[in-house]
Every structure is written in C-alpha cells, then in structure tokens.
A and B are shown apart, each in its own frame.
Chain A
Amino acid sequence: MSKKALDILAGKAGDAILETASYLGDEMALVQRAHILEVLGLCKTDPDLDFAMLSDLTVVDWLGTEPRFEVVYILYSLQHKHRLRLKVAVPEDDAVIDSACSLWMSANWAEREAWDLYGITFRGHPDLRRILMYDEFVGHPLRKDYPQNGRQPLIRRPDATPTDDLTQRLLETSHDRRVR
C-alpha cells in the first residue's frame, strides 16, 4: 500500500536505513539511531512523503535480546494517505534517543509516556517527566522485568491488610512515609 513511500525514503535516506520490510501492506524501515532525527525530518518535509502526522510513538521491550528496546514511530500522510513505521533499536545500558518534539507537537506526550513506562530518555525533550504514573513511582512498569503486582501505594489505612508479599516488601522499602 505504501511501498512507494518506502522506496522513496530508502532512496533518499541512504545509509541511515539499515533494513526495510513489507508485509501485507505494512511498510517498515529500521533506522540507525544516530540518524533518526534527520530521517524523521525528511519524512515530514519531503513533498513526496509528506508525513504531517505522527500517529503514535511507542516502544517494544524484547527482553533477553540485544539491543533490548525498539522505539517505533507510526507516521501517516494526510495528503497522500499512506502510512509508514520506523523502528530504532535502542540498547538497555544506553537508552537514549533524539526527541522528535521539534518536528511534531504530538511527540511531546508520546515521548513522556515512553519514558514513563519504558525508561527511554529522549534527548532534547522540553519537559520529560512522568505522565501516567505518579512522581513517587520507582521504575518503569511496562518493562518486561517489572513485577506485574509491584504496587507502590501512595496511601494505605494503618490497619489495612497487605494483599501479597510483594506489596508488603514494597511497603517496607518504600521511600514514601505516608504508606507506613
């Protein structure tokens, strides 16, 4: 469906694109991390591509593989009606990537969410703080190694029964005085 757009991008971006794939009308391009901002800028400004809309920005956690994270940009062109997915591999020990806020305003909250839930740092983001979880929360809960029941309560009744061992452990090690 968007094969043409993918071919145009592959022709213009050159070495920045490591790999392309096309499956059932779904076009994907794997981009070098160092060049992601210029590839995104090309996608937005090039008149043949013209991706005016950043539909979504999300992260995949491939726990156990290297590099661990994959940042996914889903772009949509309002004029040409084509879509494209750009992926960037990000290693765990250096989970930093350039922010796309200078290109799309919608990247602001999407990148805050990605940082909140996966711990990917976006370099150049104007206001990178938590958006879904509360400020006192420790860790990034959508990482696959975060325990599913790892509650970090802000408040509990003094006589409330702990619901499981993990809650009890988190209560004891919590930095928040109000939960004790």
Chain B
Amino acid sequence: MQSDNPGYVPTTLQTAVNWAQKFSLFTYPFATACCAMEFMSIMGSRYDISRFGAEFPRFSPRQADLLLIVGTITERQAPVLRRVYDQMIDPKWVLAFGVCASTGGFYQNYTVTPGADQIVPVDVYVPGCPPRPEQFLDGLMALQRKIQDHRGHAQIELGNTAMISMKDRRRLPIHQDGTSMGLSKEERMPRNGKVR
C-alpha cells in the first residue's frame, strides 16, 4: 500500500475497513463520576458489550480508538480530557455517556464544563442520569452505523482512512515535540506532564 494518499477513492476497500473498525472498537473509559457504576454493568456479562466487539478496555489512550466520557467534566479536568483525546491514534471516536458529559447536566455553574463537546468533538451523545445499559447499547450501535457510513468526526477530517499506511498512521496524532494533533503550537500541552 502506498504511503501517500492517491487521487482516487477505493470505496469498496474503505467500506471493508469501516466494517472491520466498527466491530473492533478498543475503548478508553474516561470514567469520572457515578455513571461509571452503570458502565460497569454494561461491561459485565448481563449486557455484555463484547457482543459488539467493544469489550476490551485499554487503559492507555495510545491503544484505544473509542473515548468513552463517562461522567462530569469539570473545568479543571478539561485540559486532561483534551490531552487524552490528543494522545489517541487516528481514526478515533468519542461517545459522551450521560447528561453531564453531554451538556453539563444539572451542574449549571462555574465548575462544570457545559458538555464535553466544548473540549473534544463528540460523535454520539447518550442521555440519561445515568443512562440505562440499553441506551448505551443503542448509542454504540448508532456509532457503528456512523463508522460504517464514514460520518465520524475524525473520519471526515482524515478523508480516506483506508489508504493511510500503518507507518503514517503511527505518525499522525503525535508531533515530534509534544502530544497534540489538532492544536496549534502554543495551545499544545507541555511535555513535562503538567497540564498547565
């Protein structure tokens, strides 16, 4: 496979890649609040998200391609979330789990970010306080449809992901001097581990 993006779009190959990706989502659970309790039951055997190929939580963002924002995101925590998102390998997707991650929920005050989409682009919002496991599975299936149709934020930004070689894919999200992809140089997080 060539490393540069050719002028034509191999649509059948892209469809096959999207089909493979939608059934092999590696999740990174960014669990910050009580929604994480509900998420545990989804991971468990009764609801069992491994039926959808998403059973394997990776606790390193570099190995994950689905960021699950499970819980309230405070203003103080927002740079951490942005940094986790920036460290993930392309193509990547984001699912906001619960009203706090979607809109800030009932925390309409100075501490809480009004929705995680102020920080990172969110593909699927799952409402509920906390959501029922069925709601989450519905959202996961909606995300799978979105991946298959090539409508995810990262997919739209990257274009033809099927023709990006593994060498380029490893290079994509991480700059030589830092960790961020989508931010300008002065907006990037410093490398010494401090978020501010």
Contacts and interface: CB of A to CB of B under 8 A. Distances in A.
A157 B108 CA distance: 19
A135 B110 contact: no
Contact of A153 (B78, B108, B117, B121): B78
B119 A156 contact: yes
A157 B196 contact: no
Given A134-B196, A146-B110, A177-B186, A160 B76 contact: no
B131 interface: no
Chain A CB within 10 Å, residue with most, of B108, B110, B114, B120: B110
A179 to B, nearest CB: 9
A155 interface: yes
B75 A157 contact: no
Contact of A157 (B79, B109, B111, B118): B118
Nearest to B78: A155
B79 A154 contact: yes
B113 interface: yes
A82 interface: no
Q: Could you say which interface size class chain A belongs to?
A: 20 to 34
B109 A136 contact: no
A147 B108 CA distance: 11
A138 to B, nearest CB: 11
Contacts of A147: 110
A148 interface: yes
A60 B196 CA distance: 32
B110 A155 contact: no
B147 to A, nearest CB: 22
Contacts of A146: 110
B84 to A, nearest CB: 12
Contacts of A167: 114
A152 B79 CA distance: 13
Interface in B104-130: 108-111, 113-115, 117-121
Interface in B181-196: 186-187, 196
A178 interface: yes
B118 A149 contact: no
Interface in B41-86: 75-76, 78-79, 82
Contact of A163 (B79, B111, B114, B196): B114
B177 to A, nearest CB: 17
Contacts of B82: 155
A151 B120 CA distance: 18
Contacts of A134: 75-76, 196
A153 B118 contact: yes
Chain B CB within 10 Å, residue with most, of A150, A151, A154, A178: A154
Contacts of B114: 151, 163, 167
A153 B120 CA distance: 14
Nearest to A170: B110
B186 A133 contact: no
A150 B112 CA distance: 10
Contact of B113 (A150, A153, A177): A153
Interface of A: 133-136, 141, 146-157, 160, 163, 167, 177-178
The 6 lowest CB-CB distance pairs between A and B, nearest first, are: A163-B114, A160-B118, A155-B79, A134-B76, A150-B110, A155-B78
